[in-house]
Homo-oligomer: A and B are copies of this chain.
Amino acid sequence: MKNLQEKASDLTRDFSSLPAFEKLKKLAEHPFDLSLPGNLTPERMKQYWSESAGIKLLYGTERITDNVMKALSELARESGAVEKMHRMQNGEICNCIKGYPCENRAVLHTATRDFFENQNTCLPAREAAEMAATELEKLSSFLLDNDITQKFTDMVLIGIGGSDLGPYAMFLGLEHLKKPGRNLFFINNVDPDNAASVMEQIDLAHTLVVVVSKSGTTTETETNAEYVRKKFLEAGLKPEKHFVSVTGEGSPMDNLSSSFESFYIWDWIGGRYSSTSMVGGVLLAFAFGFDVFKEFLRGANAMDKTALKENPEENLPLLGALLEIWNRNFLHYPTLAIIPYSHALRRFSAHIQQLSMESNGKHINKSGNPVNFPTGEIIWGEPGTNAQHSFYQLIHQGTDIVPLEFIGFKESQYDEDILFEGTTSQEKLLSNLFAQAIGLATGMQNSNPNKEFSGNRPSHILLAKQLTPYTLGALLAYYEHKVAFQGFIWDINSFDQEGVQLGKVLANKIIDRFANKRGIKSSEEFPLADVLIKHSENF
């Protein structure tokens, strides 16, 4: 650890002025062509890989060479990427923009799982981990409470964005471990049909409702909580005996007259980084048991430690970030498709989409100056093999190149498979993943232009033995840190989201127009919105 007294701002280095930037730009003029005969060799696939916390990253199918990897390493060093990761995990203020009013917060989601070996000893990180440990203890007691376990079979999570996407994706990721008789439901959208359809499926008397909002003032969540509360009252049940909150201490939702327990989160946990806090914890521990949740945290923590290593070859998230930056800033590919060959990870890409795009979809650097290079890429994706039967036509033969991040596992989760025509389904699944990485790279000649594959389309593979709680935690943290490293290298603030404010302000104005029609509120004039409202009324 270098001198921590040095201010975070001293690490501000304009991305496009780094010496390695020019080097990489030059290298990108003649990038490695994966499709040239003899270029994609078994030796290459043996050479380019790395492993941490049980996850391998195989990247021989990226358009890189030793020189590119060397320059990317320099880029990491020159941008102070690992140093910034140390500072983040140590609890320095890194959610900030120099010279402008900003959130000015530490970023300590790593503290929500720092309960294992080699704990961080810096004071802010230590204090944060202690606060998180207190909540974890509270959760453990809560789940051991006989009243709770005997009364409740169903749980409804009400939350949106970071309070929903991560918990939901993680829940699906481990659904095979669900405790018998427990049922989980999710209300996220303010669309009333979301809540209505969930209400049709649950048994209120045995339902625990978890309302998740850091601020306690998220419109969608407040509205849906109110909706569900009313249903309990109509059924002659007391909502305050069924509701618990996950929220900031002292927020409007931290109120024991409306919920019988509050679990806390703090301003040093961003919503999109909150899956390992109580935001994910209450749900996952209820569904799978406390030990499974703890194991999930242990996996995330292992990747946190990996993220502190100086050498990109030993630092999986940094390696992932560098490959992404190569594709994004030097080869100019604007999107990344994340394709898990895993049914359990079918909503994982939607979570990473939020994590990455809300973090890195930024137009200014940490000094408040407009960036002169592309930042956060568009993240999208669906599970394989399904995606092969959906959009892979474009991936193979479209006019645009889409880099891919595959995720695969040697073993399935359920102990169920079928040996059909000589192989198991799991082997077929993995074979398809491998085939795609190879085929996209090599392409194939054909005298019929419609059957011609140009190849030279880059991808890499994240590979693990099995999707266990530990591996899922490690995989989640891999992405959290990959995203943070991209932001560190670009020198942008990956931890705020000012870009969502304008929509909120305008939506509230239009909501007021509706309330005004009902004579409930006065409202500002908004002629543009009125035309749209009128369009919606004339059918």
C-alpha gap A376/B390 in the complex (Å):
13
Instruction: Using known A-B contacts A100-B448, A428-B190, A454-B363, determine if residue A389 contacts B162 with beta carbons closer than 8 Å.
Output: yes
The answer on a CB contact under 8 Å between B334 and A420 is no
Q: How many identical subunits does the complex contain? A: 2
Option from B165, B334, B417, B448 in Cβ contact (under 8 Å) with A390: B165
Give residues of chain A (355-412) contacting chain B, Cβ–Cβ below 8 Å.
Answer: 357-364, 368-371, 373-380, 382-386, 388-400, 402, 408, 410, 412
The answer on a CB contact under 8 Å between B382 and A193 is no
Taking CB atoms, residues of chain B closer than 8 Å to A512 are 422
The answer on a CB contact under 8 Å between B374 and A192 is no
| Interface pick from A42-50, A118-126, A258-266, A282-290 | A42-50
Q: Which chain B residue has the least Cβ–Cβ distance from A191? A: B343
Q: Which chain B residue has the least Cβ–Cβ distance from A58? A: B535
The answer on a CB contact under 8 Å between A219 and B520 is no
Option from B361, B388, B413, B452 in Cβ contact (under 8 Å) with A391: B361
The answer on a CB contact under 8 Å between B358 and A393 is yes
Within 8 Å of chain B (Cβ to Cβ): is A128?
Answer: no
C-alpha gap A385/B388 in the complex (Å):
29
The answer on a CB contact under 8 Å between B230 and A418 is yes
C-alpha gap A477/B161 in the complex (Å):
31
| Interface pick from A3-11, A478-486, A494-502 | A494-502
Within 8 Å of chain B (Cβ to Cβ): is A297?
Answer: no
C-alpha gap A104/B417 in the complex (Å):
39
| Interface pick from A78-86, A246-254, A437-445 | A437-445
The answer on a CB contact under 8 Å between A450 and B364 is yes
Taking CB atoms, residues of chain B closer than 8 Å to A236 are none
Taking CB atoms, residues of chain B closer than 8 Å to A222 are 420
The answer on a CB contact under 8 Å between B388 and A418 is no
The answer on a CB contact under 8 Å between A498 and B451 is yes
The answer on a CB contact under 8 Å between A386 and B189 is yes
Within 8 Å of chain B (Cβ to Cβ): is A148?
Answer: no
The answer on a CB contact under 8 Å between B227 and A434 is no
The answer on a CB contact under 8 Å between B58 and A412 is no
Q: Which chain B residue has the least Cβ–Cβ distance from A378? A: B335
Q: Which chain B residue has the least Cβ–Cβ distance from A363? A: B397
The answer on a CB contact under 8 Å between B421 and A357 is no
Within 8 Å of chain B (Cβ to Cβ): is A527?
Answer: yes
Taking CB atoms, residues of chain B closer than 8 Å to A391 are 353-354, 357-358, 361, 378-379
